[in-house]
Every structure is written in C-alpha cells, then in structure tokens.
C-alpha cells in the first residue's frame, strides 16, 4: 500500500508546478479551461505488472497553494501532500518522517529514490498536454503522448455549461498504468 500511495503521489503531485501558460486541448470535446483555483475528488487505480492497488484522492488547488489527500480502501493508510511553487511537504500515514523539498520531484526522490515527470500531471488530469513539451495526439482515441507517457481520455464530464473536463483518464508508461475516475470537479 505504501508503494502505491507514493507512486500515486508522484503522478498526481503536480499542483505546485509553476508552469501557467495556456495550452490547447488535444480534442475538441474538451470545453473551457480551469483557472488556478479548482478541486476534484475521485478514485485512483494503479497497476504495475501483476500488482494493483487503489485509493481515494481529493486535490485542492488555490493559485500556487495545493493540498492532495490520498487514502486507501476503507480509509486505511494514506498521505497528505501540500505546498506551493517553492515548498512541498508530504506525510505518509503510519510514518514519522516528513518529506520536504522545493518541488514534487524532489520530494518523490527523497521518498522513493527516483521520480517521474510529476509536474506535468497537473495538466494531464485536465486532459491537456503540459506547456513547453512536445506531444503527439493519439490517432484512434482522445488523448496524447508526452514525455513517453500515454494519456488517454476515456470519458468526459460536463462541469458547467461552458466547461467539459475528463471524468476518466488513464496514464500509461511501459507496464505501469494509472487510472483516474474523477467524481466531482469544482472550478
């Protein structure tokens, strides 16, 4: 469970990214865009090889400040990640150590000894490529590839009459797959 929570954190811990440039959605069905204050609640499932886990996720973004809560099945385990564009902290349930750094990648490296391109996930959860990096639109379904990751938009959800965002996504890289089911978006 700890490995899953830390990996989920790594993939979703991009709220402190200082990249704020607008990007164009890869699919016309996405409508509108979020400003720098939003939140969502949902479920995350991760599969690597033959192992799989899941967790609830609540992500709140207020300008540069963010808070991400992850909890395991039936509320067991979990982690809290919070910070802004210059400071990130992560506390894992059941551990005394508080991980601190200036970026989500630094915190992940402290916790796991390696990291993923987590700052881009802030845009990926919205179904948009991260600005400043090349991407390729998927030819057969909504989504894109960026930095070696495949981001598939599996379901869209109307949030307001002028805003439609992903309700279900899958990020995949080699044998690692992360599925997000977003129950509620609050712009």
Bridge-partner residues for 170, per DSSP? 152, 179
Q: Is 67 helix (H, G, I), strand (E, B) or coil?
A: strand
Residue 121: Cβ-neighbour burial (10 angstroms; 0-12, 13-18, 19+): buried
The region of weakest confidence among 6-10, 24-28, 59-63 is: 24-28
Maximum mean pLDDT: which of 18-22, 70-74, 103-107, 159-163: 159-163
Residue 4 CA to residue 15 CA, distance in Å, equals 19
Select from 85, 64, 88, 90 the least CA-distant residue to 8: 90
pLDDT at position 117 is 67
Neighbours of 131 (CB within 10 A): 15
Residues 6+ apart with CB under 8 A from 143: 26, 27, 127, 137, 150, 151, 152, 153, 169
In tens, the pLDDT along 50-89 reads 888 888 999 898 887 888 888 887 667 788 888 888 899 9
Q: Where are the domains of the chain?
A: 2-186
Domain 2-186, CATH homologous superfamily name and number: Lipoprotein localisation LolA/LolB/LppX (2.50.20.10)
Question: Residue 137: which pLDDT band, with cuts at 50, 70 and 90?
Answer: very high
Q: What is the mean pLDDT of the chain?
A: 81
Residues 6+ apart with CB under 8 A from 131: 19, 21, 22, 23, 123
Residue 14 CA to residue 68 CA, distance in Å, equals 10
What is the model's pTM?
0.78
Residues 6+ apart with CB under 8 A from 43: 54, 55, 56, 57, 180, 181, 183
């Amino acid at each position: 469970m700890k490995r899953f929570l830390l990996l989920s954190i790594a993939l979703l811990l991009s709220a402190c990214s200082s990249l704020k440039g607008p990007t164009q959605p890869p699919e016309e069905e996405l409508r509108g865009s979020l400003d720098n204050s939003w939140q969502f609640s949902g479920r995350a499932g991760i599969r690597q090889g033959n192992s799989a886990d899941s967790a609830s996720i609540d992500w709140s973004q207020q300008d540069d400040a963010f808070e991400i809560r992850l909890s395991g099945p039936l509320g067991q385990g979990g982690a809290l990640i919070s910070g802004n564009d210059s400071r990130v902290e992560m506390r894992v349930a059941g551990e005394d150590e508080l991980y601190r750094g200036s970026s989500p990648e630094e915190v992940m490296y402290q916790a796991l000894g390696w990291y993923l391109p987590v700052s881009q996930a802030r845009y990926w959860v919205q179904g948009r490529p991260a600005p400043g990096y090349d991407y390729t639109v998927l030819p057969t379904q909504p989504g894109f590839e960026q930095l070696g990751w495949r981001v598939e938009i599996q379901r869209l959800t109307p949030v307001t009459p002028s805003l439609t965002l992903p309700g279900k996504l899958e990020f995949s890289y080699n044998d690692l797959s992360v599925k997000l089911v977003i129950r509620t978006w609050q712009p």
